[in-house]
Amino acid sequence: MPDIMVLDTHIWFWWINEEYHRFPAAWMERITNTDKVVVSPVSCFEIALAHQRGKLTLPCNTQKPPRSSHRTHGNAPMPTISLFYGILIRMFFKDIEKHHRPHIHADYQGQVGIYAIDDGELLAGGLPPAKHKLVVAWIEIHKDDLAADWQLAVNGKPPLAIKGLDQ
């Protein structure tokens, strides 16, 4: 049976704000080594309510997300293929003319970096240094899966989900 940890509202808020100093190192180790970390809907409600009342600021865009898990690039969908440590990985192949090679879009709290699939080179944009390193490592680990997803997308088929670093 997988090890599952449910974060309470305060711990979750500190986690998404990267305020790791607020809780003991043992907690950080436990969270990092747990198979699955989840948050209750009640915690989501509490955070949303506090934000709505102006009692806290969130480190991300709070506009209502689209109903699907696809972001758009122009009018075309950009499917999310992975999510780890708050980083969304999306693939949109129709802008090959702009970036000139197969690539992914990595989105962390509104900052977007566009990375080449073959070598992890940053083609445009950027992420915070720690998140950049995670994306480059993830690309190296999943290079073959990413190349296969790119071929699916080029042939008009939806790319497959790829495990994140935290899975």
Q: What is the pLDDT of residue 73?
A: 46
7-62 pLDDT, tens digit each: 888 887 777 776 777 877 777 777 777 777 788 778 777 887 887 788 877 665 55
pTM, two decimals, is: 0.56
Q: Which of 46-50, 67-71, 133-137, 158-162 has the lowest mean pLDDT?
A: 67-71
Residue 136 clears pLDDT 80, i.e. is over it = yes
Q: What is the pLDDT of residue 70?
A: 40
Q: What is the pLDDT of residue 146?
A: 95
> Which residues, in sequence order, are CB contacts of 44 under 8 Å at separation 6+?
none
Closest CA to 123 of 110, 136, 114, 133: 114
Domain ranges for the chain: 4-52, 70-154
Confidence of residue 124 (pLDDT cuts 50, 70, 90): very high
Q: What percent of the chain has pLDDT over 90?
A: 30
Q: What is the DSSP string of the chain?
A: ---EEEEPHHHHHHHHTT-GGGS-HHHHHHHHH-SEEEE-HHHHHHHHHHHHTTS---SS--SPPPSSSEEEETTEEEEEEEEETTEEEE---TTHHHHSS-EEEEEETTEEEEEETTT--EEEE---HHHHHHHHHHHHHTHHHHHHHHHHHHTT-PPPP---TT-
Residue 91 clears pLDDT 60, i.e. is over it = yes
